[in-house]
Each structure stands twice: as C-alpha cells, then as structure tokens.
Amino acid sequence: MRTLYVRIIVTTMGIMIASAIIAFAVSNIHYQHYLKPENDQKVTEIAENIVSIYEGNDQHITAYLTAMAELGYKFYLMEEGGEGQTFGEPFESEELNQTHIESVLNGNVYHGIANYPWRPFVTGFFDNELKNTIGVPIQLDGAAHALFVRPDSAQQFGEMRIFLAVMLGLTLLFSFILVVTSTRFIVNPIKRLTEATKKIAAGNYHIKLDVKRRDEIGRLANDFTKMSDKLEQTEEKRQEFVSSVSHEIQSPLTSIQGFSQALREEILSEEESVRYLDIIEKESKRLSALSKQLLTLSFLDRGIENNDMQPFDVAGQLKEVVLATEWQWLEKEIEIEMDVSPATVIGDHELLQQVWMNLVTNAIRYTNQGGRIRIRTVNEKATTTIVIEDTGIGIAEAEILQIFDRFYKVDKARTRTENSTGLGLAIVKKIIELHDGSIMVESELGQGSTFIVNLSKA
C-alpha cells in the first residue's frame, strides 16, 4: 500500500466489506429482538388456524397436510408413541427435546421460533430444523397428536433468495470495478501535482496544470499554479536583484580601480590628483551606502519584533527630520512649510525615522532652487496620514508604479553619478508594510510629487 491509488482502493473495499458485515449483524439483532417474536406469533396463528380448519371438516389428515404443504409450509405430525411423519420438504434436523413434545401432547403450544438460539452473524429465519417450529396440539381419531409447523423458506423465498444473492454479488463486483476506475480519476491529478512538485524542486517554475475541476483537488491545483507563478516571479526578482547588486557594486569598483591605477602610473598635476581622489572617495561612500542599505533590506525581510513597536508622537519626529536636514534645504533656498499636529502612532521609532529622512531628502534632492516643500499630518479616527509634497521635477505616470522596486532609478543617466543606490524608496515601502500601513504617490512631470503615508493610531 505504498501508493495512494492502492490505498484508496483497499480502504474503500474494506469499508464496503465492513459495512456489509455490520449491516448484517445489525439486521440480525433487529430480527432477534423484534421480527422473531412477531414471526413466532404469526406462525402460531397460522398453525392454530390449520388445526381449527381441519377439525371443522371431514378431510383425512394426510391429504389435508399434503395440500397445505404445497402452499409453502412444512409439517411434522407426531403421535403419543413418538412416531412422526413429515409433510412437505424434510427437515434438516428432526432433533427435539422430548419434554417439548410431551408439553404439546398435553395441550400446550411450543414456541420454537421465539426460543431458537441467537447467533450474532447467522439469522435463524432460514434454519430448517424441527426445533425451529411452532408446535400445536391436534386431535386425530380421538387421540392427542403434536403438529409442528414452520414456513418452507426454500419454497416461499427460494427464487427471491437466489435473486438477492445474485444482486448482492453483482453489486459488490461492479462496486469494486467502479472503485478501481473512479480512483484512477481521483489520483491522476495528484500524480500530476507530484510530478510538478518535483519539477519545482529542480528549479523549473514554468508549470501549468490542466486540471478543470471545482472540488478540493481542483482548488489545490489552482493554488499550486498560483504558487508556481509566485515562485517564478520571486526567482526572476532574485536574479534581477543579484544582477542589479553586481552592477551597482561593479560600477564604483571599476572607477576606484581605474583612478587608483592612474594615480600610481601617470604623472598628474596636483589638481588632477585631488579630483581623482575625490572621485575615489565618492565611489567608496556609494559602496558603503549600498552595503548599509542591503543590510537594512535583509534585516527588514526578517520582520520586526513586537518589542520594538512602541507608541510615540510622529509630529515630533517629523520636526526632528526637518531640523536634521536644515543645511540641505537652506543651501537650495527651499521653503519648508509644516502643518503638523500631535499624533501618536505605534511603531519602530528608528525605522520610521529612516522613512521620513528618505522621503524628505528625496524631496530636497529633486526640488529646484527656491522651491517649496510642505509637510502636514491629518488625524482621523483610526489612522494618521502623513503627507510630504514638493514642487520638484515630478515623476512620469508610467514610472510611478516602479519607483518602489529595488534598484529602480527614474533618471538612470543622472542618478548614476549621485550617491543614489535605488534602494531608498524600496526600504521606505518595506518599513511601512511592516507597520501595516500604506504609501501612495501622486505626481506629474514638472509639477512636483506628493507622498502619502497612512499609519494606524495608537
């Protein structure tokens, strides 16, 4: 029973056989406790009627009982001397306690059907024995006799018994055949799922299962297909991430290597040497920033601890960020407007500090000289909304959905020379999601951008 196919077949057949045995046992118990007393009473009435009819006419007992036997009964007539005569089909056993015989001869009724021994898995209804009869007294020529009566089940139910036996046998046979056939249809989709699982384990995510079913197996196949698609997307993002990381690392390393070699091998003026050293320092800082942000993303991918989630005033934190970036917006003569009111949220103070720092520095970076940045909060019943809007260069509509992707840069040609890694907004989005919040962007080229963050209140 190593395969599910064999297991289902064996289990189903076992259930069918066990059900048949249990049903027969329950039916036998029902017969013993309810049907057998009723059957005993019915046969007793029939036997008494047979005696009453006989005693009311002048017909000879042999002819009378022979005629009655043809109606589906069998009789055993016994006189006081102990000699007996059978009418109808013979009994398989004519053994009967002498005490019962004498009781009938003395005028009592023998209830052999009601008192027939009980056996759990064999019903006594069809047992063709003398002790499984009804005995009634009868007077023949002035002498007391005992007449034992029972239905001739072979005559009354012979064809029906054969019919039922054949029907039961064919039912079991066809049931087994249909179980074997239907089980294959049940197991085949599971086999395909198993093969698909092996392919996924081997790294092949391009799997489409053609299972058109609406049951649990169909839903499992659909969920499996969705999982395969998700894994394929994850693998593509992983490869793209590795490729982007390699590219981002390789670019500053190439610059550092090239300018270092130039400083060693070429005769340069002091001004050129300083410019080369500045470039090397700038690229080193880019590498350092990249490594820090990669470590931050790795940390965020593992989630944050509940112990780090504490209530604090987000308005005060926004003011701290504005003060920390003062030299940057003063240098570009940018006007800062703040419309914030106290709002307590639950979160990781340091991570949310990084969110506001990234959004504010981005707004400063992409806002032209003499522009304006507005920071405001909106308190609602269950959430606090933080809005950071600028009058900068804006973002094209086609690129808005991609700005939160890792290593994505809106203007690759320009930002390539700046200290930008393309990870800042990806980190922002990840932190907001870990706080069960949301972030949206509204932007238009040349008109500026608005970042809207929603966080749950404490």
Q: Please, which pLDDT band fits residue 156 given cuts at 50, 70 and 90? A: low
Taking only the tens place, the pLDDT of each residue in 308-323 is 788 999 999 999 999 9
CATH of the domain at 25: 3.30.450
Cα–Cα distance measured from residue 233 to residue 366, given in angstroms and rounded to the nearest whole number: 32
Same domain, 439 and 339: yes
Domain end among 251, 269, 302: 302
Q: Final residue of a domain: which of 273, 302, 331?
A: 302
Alpha-carbon distance of 427 to 361, in angstroms, equals 14
Domain stop point among 159, 189, 217? 159
Is 117 part of any domain?
A: yes
Residues 408 and 326 in one domain: yes
Please say whether the beta carbons of 39 and 112 come within 8 A.
no
322 and 218 in a common domain: no
- Percent of the chain past pLDDT 90, that is, above it, reads 21
Both 85 and 151 in one domain: the answer is yes
Q: Are 362 and 443 in contact (CB under 8 A)?
A: no
Q: Are residues 447 and 328 in the same domain?
A: yes
Mean of the per-residue pLDDT values of the chain = 82
Q: Which tokens sit at 345? A: 């949220």
- List C-alpha distances in Å: 107 to 129, 146, 244, 284, 449: 22, 9, 110, 123, 115
Read off the CATH number of the domain in which 283 is found: 1.10.287.130
Does residue 438 form part of some domain? yes
If one counts the domains in the chain, the total is: 3
More confident residue, 133 or 261: 133
- Would 12 be classed as within a structural domain? yes
Q: Tell whether pTM > 0.75.
A: no
pLDDT tens per residue across span 255-269: 888 888 888 877 778
Does residue 197 belong to any structural domain of this protein? Answer: no
310: which residues sit within 8 A by CB, 6+ positions away?
346, 347, 348, 349
* Cα(457)–Cα(346) distance, integer angstroms: 7
Return the half-sphere exposure (C-beta side, CA atoms, 13 A cut-off) of residue 192.
18
- Considering only residues 57 and 68, tell me which one the structure prediction assigns the higher pLDDT: 68
Residue 337: its pLDDT value, please?
Answer: 93
* All residues at 6 or more sequence positions from 35 whose CB lies less than 8 Å from its CB, including other chains: 125
Do residue 451 and residue 310 come from a single domain? Answer: yes
For 205-249, the pLDDT digits (tens) are 777 776 677 777 777 778 878 888 888 777 777 776 676 667 667
Enclosing H/E stretch for 370? none
What is d(CA 90, CA 74) in angstroms, rounded to the nearest whole number?
Answer: 8
Specify whether 21 is located in the same domain as 63: yes
Does a structural domain hold residue 176? Answer: no
Provide the domain limits for residue 295.
Answer: 205-302
Domain-located, residue 16: yes
What does the pLDDT read at residue 172?
78
